[in-house]
Amino acid sequence: MKFPCDRFGVELHLHLDGAFRAETIYKYAVAKGIKLPSTCPTAFKDYLVIRTPNSLLDFLGSFDFILPAVAGDPEALTELTVQCLEDCATKGGLCYVELRFSPHLLSGPTLSPEMVVKTIIAAVDCGSKKYNINVRLILCMMRHMPEHSAEVTRLAKCYQNHGVVAVDVAGDDKPCDGTNTAPEIKQAFKEAKNGGLHRCAHAGENGCAASVTEAVNDMFAERIGHGYHILDEDEVYDDMKQRNMHFELCPLSSKLTGSVVAEWEKHPIHRFIADNVNFSINTDDPTVTGQWKVDEEKMLKTFACLTSDQLEAANLRAASAAFLPEGEKEELMNHVRSQSLACRTDRH
């Protein structure tokens, strides 16, 4: 793996369709005659950004204006994916990113889920070389569309040699009680494990602590997206800490979705730091949150009073949790360590 000498950020939880440029979405929507809530690209970009904490469903409402403009359009998906990688590099300061997306949400009426995957793989191949960034892909099942889960795993296995490294399950996890994730999803995760794919799962974001236990025990999840509500159950919290489970925290998103209602000084990230819980810092959906990882870290310094050393440690944990072969992972970790040390030396 080759890494840029000026970038060492690592991000594990970034939704591709939540990182599309609003101006480009606007262009395609207008060309297709899709009605939008704003009459110029700048206003549309501003409209998509959630600023007042509400609920996960309210947060996801922005995608009602994103997906119709681009789903099923290979030209749009290609342009937006390449732009996303440029923004990962220039706005996020990333040298490595794992992008996740649902092939079925991006297929629309004219493009098959498999063609979506092939289109995005081709765009990533182009964009990663152009902007000198290492990229891996995660395919998402959706909790409200369990009937597509088997196909997601099939596609992930089919394109393992083309940068697809894992499957995920996304969507509102509030209905989860720790036992009731659809059997189709659980079976698809089992097939993913048997097929040598990595597994991560959105759990404990809007739902209960037990949903995290279910994801780990029944779905073989190696990383958990969000997971803030493990703090609601001491037994679950202690179990996950003992297992050294990795949590992909998305701090600003956690506030905007209403998943975390406490003030910044009481955010779960502080408990995780105090107890040496394994976590990384991610942005989730920059188009909707309004910021990339560089600004996410600045926000945490300003409002949550995290230190540079704490942010560097979280970034190194992200590298350690990356879905990479051991040799490539060690290369990534060495790059992060060396560049972090150079920055620390500059600060002093």
Which active-site residues does the annotation give? 205
Type of residue found at 111: L
- Note the maximum CA span of the chain: 56
Sign for the CA dihedral angle at 143, 145, 149, 155 comes to negative
Candidates 293, 299, 298, 334; CA nearest to 316 is: 334
Residue 326: count other Cβ atoms within 10 Å of its Cβ.
Answer: 7
- 199 near 167, Cβ under 8 Å? yes
Q: Write the CB contacts of 33 (distance below 8 Å, at least 6 apart in sequence).
A: none
- 208 near 170, Cβ under 8 Å? no
The two three-digit tokens of residue 140, written as one number? 């998402």
Radius of gyration of the chain (CA): 19
Q: Rounded to whole angstroms, how far apart are CA atoms 289 and 255? A: 10
Helix, coil or strand: residue 259:
coil
Q: Rounded to whole angstroms, how far apart are CA atoms 237 and 233? A: 6
Q: Rounded to whole angstroms, how far apart are CA atoms 166 and 185? A: 14
142, burial (CB in 10 Å: exposed 0-12, middle 13-18, buried 19+): buried
Three-state secondary structure along 65-90? HHHHHHCCCHHHHHHHHHHHHHHHHH
